Each structure stands twice: as structure tokens, then as C-alpha cells.
Structure 1
Amino acid sequence: MTDDRTRPVCFRHAGKIALLLLSAIAAGCAGKPVGVLVPSGTSPGASEVNMLVATTRAPSDQPGILYGGERAAQLSAAEIIVSIPPDETREIGQVQWPKKLPADPSKEFSTVSVKPLASPAEAQPWLKANLPKSRRVLIFVHGFNNRYEDAVYRFAQIVHDSKTDVAPIMFTWPSRASIFDYNYDKESTNYSRDALEELLRRASQDPAISEVTVMAHSMGSWLTVEALRQMAIRDGRVAPKIKNVILASPDLDVDVFGKQWEAMGKDKPKFTIFVSRDDRALTLSRRISGNIERLGQIDPSQEPYRSALENAGDITILDLTALKSNDQLNHGKFAESPEVVKLIGNRLIAGQTVTDSDIGLGDRVGAVALGTAQTVGSAASIAVSTPILIFDPKTRQNYQGQVDRFGRSLGGTISSTVGQ
């Protein structure tokens, strides 16, 4: 038997991280009943989220599962309505899974109805009924280790809690929902690139839709950026209606993202990226992917990322490292933080900068504190003053100018002190 002490350090650490990840996932899955998509109604005071779900998953034979983790030859779709219990009975940012079936809609998420569609063309009546006055559409792509129903309920939570003014569409790809099937899931994203590209193209070409925002989580970010890259190569650019792309905890090799970014050409959407250096799921992903940094774990204030972001242009980074979360893996902060989901709904999907003074976020030293009016006084105080750090082209320029002035002032003080 091999002594663990003789194994390379990276493998010993990877093993410990894997055990932590497995225990966290097991705890997260505990208490989730199977078959929650069997309709169980709603209740007075509950809210409903009516979404369109497109998938490359193969249908399941199990009641209430609808789709499993295997791959289908063609894209299929369904209309799903999810009931969310009254706000006074739930914590914003959390999915209240049923403890048993049928669900109690007064306290738990429940499924109101499921309507399979025979073809993508049948989605037009749904779009007509659910497209808001803004005529915006949000397309969500879930991440690694997600069952179909996991993705449906999580997206319903994000749409409800963000109170975003969009028609919600989800693209779900074949994940086997097992920590041991990481490579299968990764290949399933590759398998689904053409289908997501086609969905994005259909939405962009629909005259009823004014604007498309794409939001992806974890491994879904790889799929999303690949689909956009393909579109740019095929059509010469990303479709103009795709204005905003939000990547949350992207499980994406930073070197590969750089090449994908270049391939998208000059006319790119606005990108917003949520990062967190304490993301344990991405730590494991990095270990099993050649120890190359994942995009969702970068420190935007440090080189080489700071210079790369300055040169890239329209990329905003929201650093959630200091934000506390109920998620043991720190991989789902974007959906579980009330501040962040509201930010997604109020600002990001509309393509607005999150540093506008009209929401109290004014000028900062390269970063801002959400919900406060305090100006960060110096570069050294950023890390301890703000739960969410925001780095965008405007604040990066302000940051450099203020830091330069701070340095000159400090240097002058030191010089005058020494001269006394």
C-alpha cells in the first residue's frame, strides 16, 4: 500500500479537497425528494415563475424526473411553472426544497405545471405571453453536477429573487449530477455547443425580442463562451442583440478564455464576471485540470490579470471573496446572496454599470461597497472595507489615478519627514 506521505503534494491536497467536496455535496443533496416536477399546485400568497426550458438531455422514464443525464440527439423544450412560497416564509437566495412529496406550496417550492413542446416553433405562444414591455430575454445555463430539476428550481429562485424584468429561458445540458462524472459533464457541454448557439441565434433573430442577456454558472460558462465564439466565427460577430453576458464562478481555464475572447472579434457583448478566491469547487477543478487558474478564482487587482483586464476593455469583475455564504463550497454566492441577486436584476441584465452614483455607488478606489456610501480611502483599505469589490474600466482608471496621487502624497510626506 502506498504511504500518503510519499505521494506528490498536489495529489494529497486534491484528495483532501475531493473529500471536502463530496461531504458538502452529500449534505446539499440530503433531503431532496425525487420527482419534484410532478405538479403539486400553488397556494395563496405564493409567486409563480413561468419559464421556457430547452435541453439536450434525453427523456427519463422515471415519473417527475422528465430528463436525466444522458444525451439526446435533438433539442427539446418544455414550459414549466414553478411556485415559490411567500417571501415572509423564506430566506431570499435559498431554494426551499420539499421535505416530502407532494410539496407544501405555502412553505416550499413546488411545480405548478409542465407542458412539453413538440418543436421549438411551439415556443412562440409562450414568448408572446411572457415577454415583458422591455422585450428582454434572459437565457440561463447551469453548471456542473446539476440534475434537471436542480437547474429548474435554482433558475426559478434567481428570477424571482432578482425581480428582473425579462422572459426567463433556461438551457440545460446533460449532466449526470455526480462528482465522479466531471469529464462526462465537460464533454456534454462540448456536445451541446451547437444547440446553445442555435438557441441564441433564434432569440437574436426574433423581431419580438429587443435584447438578450446570457447568464452562465460554473461549467456552463465554458459552454456559453464556446457557443458565442462559434457564433462569432460562423457569422463574423456575436449577434448584436446579445448585449450582456454574466459568468458566475466560471469553471474556465484563463488561458483558454483569452483565446475565446480574441476569437469573438471586435464587437463583443459586455461581460460581467463573478469571482471568488475561496471557491472550493474551482480549487478542485484547477487541481484536476493541470493546475491552471480558473477564471472564477482570479484576483483582478493582481498581475497579470489587472493589465489583461485593462487591455480587454468592456469586462467588469465582481469579486465576492469577502462575501459570506451558506454554501459550504462558496460556489453559488451569485445566487444565494440577496445583494447579488438584486444587483443582477436591477442593473446587470439591463446592461447598466454597477458604479453609477444614482444608486449610491459613486467614485471609489477601484472598488465599491454595495449598499453603503463610504468611500474607500486608500488602496490598503479596500480588502477590509468592502464585501463586494467591483473592477470595471471606469473604476480601474480611477483606481490607478488615485493610487498614483496617493503614492505621490505619501512620498512627499516621507521626504518632508526625513528632511526635518
Structure 2
Amino acid sequence: MPEDQRDEDDQTSQYGNFDGELRYGVAEVSIPRDHEMGELESPNWFIEKIFGFDEEKHVVLQWIAEDGKEAVMAGVRDDLSQLDDRAILAFVHGFNTSFDKAARRTGQLKYDLGFEGPTFFFSWPSKALGSAYTHDSQVAEITYTDMTAFLRELTAQDAERVIVIAHSMGTRILSQGLADLIAEDPDAAAKITTVVLAAPDIDAKVFKERLAPKFRTLSRPVTLYASDNDTALRMSETVNGLIRIGDASNGLNPVEGIDLIDASNVKSDFFGHTYFGDNKSILSDMKNLFELNEPVDIRKGLERVETPLGPYWRITGN
């Protein structure tokens, strides 16, 4: 971003422009002592404007430092060498999400999931405005190649497991980037052991016919959380004119090779869209998936639902 577009009071403002190359760095996020699982503690807009964030009460992005890819990955390899479970976690944010919020959400996820390994967030340049859906959608499309490059870098490190979580519009970026990696370098793609698509804002037909068949080559099924209370995805359907795969309001149809989980019962935000990070039942299910490496049919908190097209699973808690 040009210097005259930077906000000197906002250390993340330089990352709001999509006209640039993929860059790497390090961030520190603090978690308040009285943090509750599933809470991204934040001030309301008025308190934030007047007083800002309070690290005693809120999840806070403390600092960021851009660094070269090689230096960052050297640090990752050093961290992995000290762990019994050599695993990497990465998060891809969705529509209407700032760099700051993506960093904070990643810190909260790492903490709530009890994840010890190196943790990344892939920040693509959302405008972080509810009115900028079309802009974000177009930017997401031109970010696919960067995602493929990013995934390739993660798989090149000395990790036994690479885990990736994507939310909302970010699932488009991850899915297409992963599909391209599978086609270009199947050996690298095979090292991505766990993929979670939460409330995916992807056309259902595109997902079933173009993406899901490619994902069947992965070492384990992709996990997909959907809900019939997700008004954000229903609005996306109105804008796009096509059903989204993460919207269960039209019924749930299992997809071969995908662990489909119905999250309709769980509590979430006003739009019913951010349950992946807001809800203890979802976080606990992901923790069992990541930490215990448990398949869907034995994880606690899930019940099997049979359909003519095959089974899906339902979160039993709320």
C-alpha cells in the first residue's frame, strides 16, 4: 500500500490493499485472564472509539512485525522441533473481517483449542464493511493463487500434521487454493491432514461437482459445518442467486467424502454465522478432531442422522 494510504495510528492499515505480493510476519495476541471459551472479548464500538482495547478485558492484537518468509519458516521449524506433536494450525477469515479481527480470532482459537504448535492466519484484504460483499467476493477470487503458495509452504515444513480452518467467504479461497494444490502437487496436498470448512459461502453445486471430488484424494475427509439458522448465508444466496453449501435451511444432503455436521442447534451471533469460534460445542468438536484425531463417527457430542444419500452428523449440545 502506498505510504500516503497508511494510518499511522493503525499498524495493520498497510495490509488493506490487495495489490501486492504475499507477505509473512509475526503477531502477538493476548488473552484476558478471565477469558471464557468461545468469547472473542471486545469493547463495543463506542468504548473502542473513546478508550480502545483493554488487555485485562479483551482479546488484543499487541503487535505485528513483518519478516521474510524464510525467517518465519525457520522459526516454525524451530518451534516444531521442540514439540512431541509436530502440528501446524492455520485460519482463513471470511467476509467483512479486518486484519486486526482475523489476528484476534486466531489467537482466541489457538487458546480455546489448546493448540501448542505454530499457528498462522491467512489475511486476505477484506474491506471489513458489511456493504462491501461484492468487493470482497472479487478479491477472494484473485487470492486463490496466494493460498496455493501458502499451503505449499506449510506442507514443506517438518510437520506431521497441517490443520486448516476456513470460515464463510474464506472457505472459497481455501477450497480453490487446495484444489489447485491437489492438481499441481498431490504429494504436498497429502500432508494437509485436516480441513475444516465452517459456514462455507460456496455455491452448493460448485462444491458438490467441482471441489468435493478433488478433496476425496486427501488423507481424511473434509469437515463441513452447516446451519439452518445462518441468515448471513441466506443473504449471500439472495445476492448470488444460488444456494450456499453452508446453508442448511433447504435441508442437508450428504456429499461423498465430506463429514457434514449440522450445527443448527448451537448458539451463535445475531446472524448465526460465527458459531465456529463462538460456540463451546463446536470448539469442543474441533478440539476432539485436532487433538485426539478422532473420526466423526466416534466423537462425543455428535449424533448420526441417516438419509437416503448417506449419513450426516448433528451437534447435540447448544
Between the two proteins, what is the percent identity of the paired residues?
24
State how 1:69-218 maps to structure 2 within 5 Å. Answer: 69-86=16-33, 89-98=34-43, 99-100=47-48, 101=51, 103-117=53-67, 119-131=68-80, 132-206=83-157, 208-218=158-168
Match for residue 417 of structure 1?
Answer: none
Partner SS, residue 188 of structure 1: helix
Residues 79-128 of structure 1: CA distance to partner in whole angstroms, max 9, x if unpaired? 11111111xx23321122244456332222233332211x2111134314
Within 2, Cα distance between the matches of 1:185 and 1:179? Answer: 10
TM-score normalized with structure 2 length: 0.85
Question: Is the Cα contact below 8 Å between 2:281 and 2:317 reproduced in 1?
Answer: no
State how 1:261-410 maps to structure 2 within 5 Å. Answer: 261-264=212-215, 266-267=217-218, 269-290=220-241, 292-298=242-248, 302=252, 305-306=253-254, 309=255, 312-313=256-257, 315-325=258-268, 327-348=269-290, 351-356=293-298, 360=300, 365-366=304-305, 386-387=316-317
- 2:206 is aligned, of 256, 269, 292, to 256
- 1:222 is aligned, of 172, 192, 209, to 172
Residues 143-185 of structure 1: CA distance to partner in whole angstroms, max 9, x if unpaired? 0011110111111111111212432111010111112221211
**Quick one: structure 1 residues 328 and 141, their matched pair in 2 at CA, closer, same or farther if it must change by over 3 Å?**
same
Give the number of the structure whose residues are more often helix, by fraction: 1
Structure 1 letter corresponding to 2:73 = Q
5+ long unaligned stretches in structure 2: 307-312
Structure 2 letter corresponding to 1:339 = S
Structure 2 letter corresponding to 1:286 = E
> Structure 1: which 4+ aligned runs deviate by more than 6 Å?
none
5+ long unaligned stretches in structure 1: 1-56, 368-381, 389-420
Shift of 1:264: 4.7
Question: Is the Cα contact below 8 Å between 2:281 and 2:301 reproduced in 1?
Answer: no
Residues 27-47 of structure 1: CA distance to partner in whole angstroms, max 9, x if unpaired? xxxxxxxxxxxxxxxxxxxxx
Radius of gyration: which is bigger? 1
Within 2, Cα distance between the matches of 1:299 and 1:280? Answer: 10
Shift of 1:320: 1.1
> What's the Cα RMSD here?
2.7
